[in-house]
Structure 1
Amino acid sequence: MCLKKKVLYIDSDNDLRQKVKKAFNKNNTYECYLCDSGISGMEMIKKVEPDIVVVDYFLPDFTGEEFYIKFISENKNSNLEGIPFIALTGNGNVDRSHLYNLGFSAILKKPFSESEIFEFVEDSLIAHRVKMEEIQFWETIRESKDFLERVVENNIDAIVTTDKKGVITYCNRAFEDLTGYSFDEIVNKKVNFLLINNSEEMLKIYETLKHKNRIVNYKTRLIKKTGYSGQVILSVSRMRDSSGEVVGALGIIRDDTGHLKTVNSSDDSEKLAAIVETAIAVNHAINNPLVPILGNAQFLLQDKNISDENVRKRLRVIVKNALKIKEITHKLAHISHPVTVEYFKGTRMLDIEKSL
């Protein structure tokens, strides 16, 4: 059964009140409440929580402006705050632009017919719903943007973006830690000054990207602020805008220095290198789908419209296990000496904790 929309009409003119009541009583999707003063109107708002309020600008005890300001001040941050208001005017002495700036959704001039008031309220409710949906949309976009920024900024991997000319446009905190350069020192500089072979290597990377969408696990050496060059593993992908045009590149960098120091024999070195490369590939392969899963689950948990505790409990389980997977893949990519244990007769498996 569809809930009826509640209309509150506040006007000292009894003839108009009855006209409005008659207009809305013809339609069984509305309930109409009538008040003849600002004080009774304020009490009725709290009692019935209307979907829309129509208030005459010239009431016996308030002007429409005073009534609206009083309502807003008394109901700030409450569930009543978003109710749309229509102001009724009977002459040309009201500053319409001022009322709109104040927060009124619409303004209707008296006198009016039954059909006019009904259609005006209908249109105002539709416009208000569209406005609220747009506000919710942009709020969702903002929350998603903030969340993704936090994910990128707190990522354990160094992340850097460049424009089509190779000029750095962004780097995260892990990139600052890895290179020793601050955000301000690195942004707007050509990325090739960080590479050991400078322009030659940069050209090689960009030539590869012309034929492929991404480069995975590319080994190179990165020049840090101290002048020391460290071995890193680089994955690069082309960034595109909403129309599909390439606008730059996204680089994910992992420090690979020292991973092989604890291995003495060449066989063990090759074995460890293979394990590390596999581990990093697994890490990236799992993290790519894991980030949106984790992000969407956390975003849904923040949605106040999801009140079913059963659903929220399941979402918390998803978040908990996604974080556990993320922790395991992080450890897997930081193996320094592989240690295996017997898993089943004739089969051994890597002990991640002992291999760190």
Structure 2
Amino acid sequence: MKILVTGGAGFIGSAVVRLAITRGHAIVNLDALTYAACLDNVASVADHPDYHFEQADIRDRVALDAVFARHQPDAVMHLAAESHVDRSIDGPGTFIETNITGTYNMLEAARAYWETRSRPDTFRFHHISTDEVFGSLPNDLAQRFTENTPYDPRSPYSASKASSDHLVRAWHETYGLPVVLTNCSNNYGPFHFPEKLIPVIILNALAGKPLPIYGDGSNIRDWLYVEDHADALLRVLEVGAPGRSYAIGGENEHSNLELVQMLCAILDQKRPKADGSYAEQIQFVTDRPGHDARYAIDPTRIRAELGWRPSVTLAEGLEKTVQWYLDNEIWWRALQDRAGVGKRLGVSG
């Protein structure tokens, strides 16, 4: 299968690209190479004969049409998006343009291409989204997000992703475009851009800086190892039912404070300080505006219908992630000078 992957130089997109190539798919990686993208993420497959890179912006419809015509993909995996909640608080306009208008352009380019090929049933447009579109859960472990949870986005980021989800469903219902949708929990793992919580904690710890935790650290997230997520996404693309959505979770719920303490314990073992524990660097900071209390996904549908479940526990995944950052200092140091990295964002709310 030839797959057009948007955002394939980003964190999750590059994991999809690497895994898809190893499984025999041909990949066209379309990425605008904005601040969070890095072609080093796909260096391991860059010379593969079935890998092709196109630098293009999903806000540029003319460029998208040219890519479809040139490569004639069998499927689209649409991951390109602005994704950092704190950045969306400071600058929501970029999120509207990329996540909403960009998705509209992708849908229209895909539909035009699909129709020129006589609307094949085998074509797929896979839209990758987030559990944040469902809003915030109470700290009642019996409640989890499902595919039928009403949408209740609470940040500019999640609102823009919710909007894009609705567009994808509308293009399926109105035009018959064969789509599948997925909403995932928080990802972590290798190549995670150093503005998100886990890499921030690892890199600040190594640098002797404070380890910032919003509020009192009680906010709960369901953590999904990025390579497990890539596996799930390919499974949905290959055998998911058109028009169907699938919630993908790691079944690993922990508070932010618990997560940071786990990271500190791993670092204490792998790179011990001369004196004391990394946990002594923990510092509670002013909470994010509108900070959702808890996310958790019920993955019953994808497990029952597609036979998928995560293979990596949180303890295993965090150990692998910490080791990867210790082994790849050249990669993360090159990104630390990019705009906004290392600064507190999202305080203007």
Whether the TM-score (by the shorter chain) exceeds 0.5 is no
Q: In terms of Rg, which structure is larger?
A: 1
Task: State the TM-score bracket (shorter-chain normalisation).
Answer: under 0.3
Structure with bigger strand share is 1
Q: TM-score, normalised by structure 2?
A: 0.23
Give the structure, 1 or 2, with the largest relative contact order (CA under 8 Å, sep 6 or more). 2
